[in-house]
Amino acid sequence: MKLLALSDEVVPFIYSGQIKERYADVDIVIGCGDLPYYYLEFVVSMLDVPLVYVHGNHDHRRQRMSNDRIATHAEGCIDIDGRVETVKGINFAGLGGSIRYRPDGTHQYTEGQMRRRMLRQAPMLLGQRLRAKPLDILATHSPPFGIHDGNDRAHTGFKSFLNYLDIFQPRLMLHGHIHLYREKAQPITQYKQTTIINIFPYRLISYDPHTGQFA
């Protein structure tokens, strides 16, 4: 399966007619936050495949579209933020947002709030585990604490994500939020059973859900 993951930045060649030829064989698109709804809607309409997404700390709850429509979600896309969903046989969990760094910020969470969001997913994930179904992909906006994260408050990762990886052992964790050109960080880190990938601003991933192999 071909997965196209996006985050943080509108990439000109993706937001153009070129996307059709370039990504004709993509099966699922994954949005890892800080992406305007018009971009997600464009991608889903051009590729005509399922698009799952979570929110970033810069995503407004209500967005004005070019036709003056006020959008509260990306039309035709699957909001998996805080949820567990199976799409084309791949098990996804979504935990968008960043660490809280402003009292009034949207899609910002304290560690305690994020932990509660994780706990709400636990029954679904444990049910999948009982049926020997792995969690294929955890899609987040923020990285975990200490892995790919930054030194400033806004780019500090979640400690609770490490507990999540320990318990639910997703095969892949895809995140954004950390702009590689600025942080000069490495994009891929292995943490126990999980390969953590910073996909900023896009990455094409081949993934075999039967073996968990990816490239």
Footprint of Zn ion (CB under 5 A): 34, 56-57, 177
**Distance of closest approach, residue 203 Cβ to Zn ion, in angstroms:** 16
CA atoms within 13 A on the CB side of 211: 7
Query: Of 34 and 136, which has the nearer Cβ to Zn ion?
Result: 34
- How many Å apart are CA 129 and CA 114, to the nearest integer? 22
108 and 46 Cβ atoms separated by less than 8 Å: no
- Closest CB to Zn ion: residue number: 177
Classify 165 as helix, strand or coil: helix
**Distance of closest approach, residue 35 Cβ to Zn ion, in angstroms:** 10
Q: Using CA atoms in the order 44, 45, 49, 54, what is the torsion angle rounded to 10 degrees?
A: 20
**Distance of closest approach, residue 57 Cβ to Zn ion, in angstroms:** 5
**Distance of closest approach, residue 172 Cβ to Zn ion, in angstroms:** 19
Query: Of 194 and 198, which has the nearer Cβ to Zn ion?
Result: 198
- CB count, 10 Å around CB of 88? 11
Query: Of 34 and 79, which has the nearer Cβ to Zn ion?
Result: 34
**Distance of closest approach, residue 131 Cβ to Zn ion, in angstroms:** 34
Query: Of 28 and 32, which has the nearer Cβ to Zn ion?
Result: 32
Query: Of 56 and 143, which has the nearer Cβ to Zn ion?
Result: 56
DSSP 138: E
Q: Which residues pair with 173 in a beta bridge?
A: 138, 196
Containing H/E element for 87?
Answer: strand 84-87
